[in-house]
Each structure stands twice: as structure tokens, then as C-alpha cells.
Amino acid sequence: MAAGLKIIRSAEGIATAQEAWLNELVEPDKGERARERESQEYARWLAEANYERLIEIANTRRLLETALRLREELAQREREQTREAANAGVQQQFEAVAQQWLLETKLLSDPVRQYLHPLHLKIIAMGEKILPLVLREVEKQSGHWFVVLNAISPENPVKPEDETSIERVTNAWLEWGKEKGLI
């Protein structure tokens, strides 16, 4: 059969050869409608596939965000536990040394001997990490802790005109400690 010819059979079974282009002239929308329908079906299939993929991506993202949040919470808990364990050890050491220093120096009338006592120097050597503990001792008024505070604190909140009053010095340090969240 020649190229471009199409065999059409009538209801009575009579076969007729007809050129394909002629059929498109008679029914021009048939091919176009089929292409449009195929195009719509393909678009629908793509949309469904993309929708399922978007749902999968969203679920994966939520899982990853949850995993990252849980990992950060676990790391934070571990840091807090480590800090608490370290603080507990520092607190026990500070309390033991401070109690011994107060006991050994309570009868000394010379402040130089009190503040140059080896245990007082050991307290100062503990550094800034004991600031909350020293401030609590100031709150309890268990001794003169101002030399330690001056030595280990990054700043001195006491105004020069207040240095002659133990009450004003105490208040300045306690207010500073509260502002900094140390007590």
C-alpha cells in the first residue's frame, strides 16, 4: 500500500483507500484531541508523582529536623551533666578549703596574715569559676571575701566612695552577682 493511504471499512464491509491527510481534514480535532488528552494524562501523572515526591521530601525533612533537635538536646544535656559534675567537684573543694581557711584564720587579728594564708591563696587560685560560691558566702556573711572577689572577678562593681563601708561593698557585690546571674 502506498505511503499515506489509509484503509477505511464501511458498516457494510466495503473497504476504501483514503489518504491520511484527507481524514484529518474531515476530522481535524481527532488527532489534536488525542494529543491533548495524552498531554493532560502525562501532566496528571507528573503532578501525582511530584506530589508524592513532595510528601516524601517533607516527611524526610521533618525526620531530619527532629533528629537534629534531639541530637542538640542530647548534647545540651551532656554539657549540663558535665558542668554539674565539674561544679559539684569544685563546690566540694571550695567548701572544704573555705571552711578550713575560716577556721584557721578566725583568731588572727592581722588581715595581712589572713589574706596571705596558703588556703586563702588556694581559694584565689580556683579562679572565676567559684564566683557564685564566693558570692553565696558574702550573702551568708561568713567572712571577708572581698579580696577573693577582687582577685577572681573580671570587674569590680564597688564605687571608690563605697570602699569604706562593708555594707555598701557587700551590697555592690551582691547586686552585681544578681545582675550577672551568678546568684
Instruction: Report yes or no on 169 lying in a domain.
Output: no
Which of the two residues, 172 and 21, has the higher pLDDT score?
A: 172
Mean pLDDT over all residues of the chain?
Answer: 83
Contact 137, 145 (CB under 8 A): yes
Spatial separation of the C-alpha atoms in residues 59 and 71, rounded to whole Å: 18
Does 79 score more than 60 pLDDT? yes
Instruction: Report yes or no on 48 lying in a domain.
Output: yes
Spatial separation of the C-alpha atoms in residues 150 and 100, rounded to whole Å: 21
Domain span at 54: 1-90
Give residue 42's Cα distance to chain centre. 44
* The predicted structure's pLDDT at residue 15: 62
Instruction: Report yes or no on 151 lying in a domain.
Output: no
Tens-place pLDDT, residues 127-178? 999 999 999 999 988 778 999 999 999 999 999 999 899 999 999 999 999 9
Instruction: Report yes or no on 53 lying in a domain.
Output: yes
Confirm whether pTM is higher than 0.85. no
- Residue 8 phi, psi (nearest 5): -120, 130
Q: What is the mean pLDDT of residues 53-75?
A: 86
Instruction: Report yes or no on 77 lying in a domain.
Output: yes
* The predicted structure's pLDDT at residue 12: 73
Does 75 score more than 90 pLDDT? no
Instruction: Report yes or no on 15 lying in a domain.
Output: yes
Number of domains in the chain: 1
Of the given ranges (44-48, 101-105, 141-145), which has the lowest mean pLDDT?
A: 44-48
181 in the Ramachandran plot: left (φ > 0), alpha (ψ -120 to 50) or beta?
left
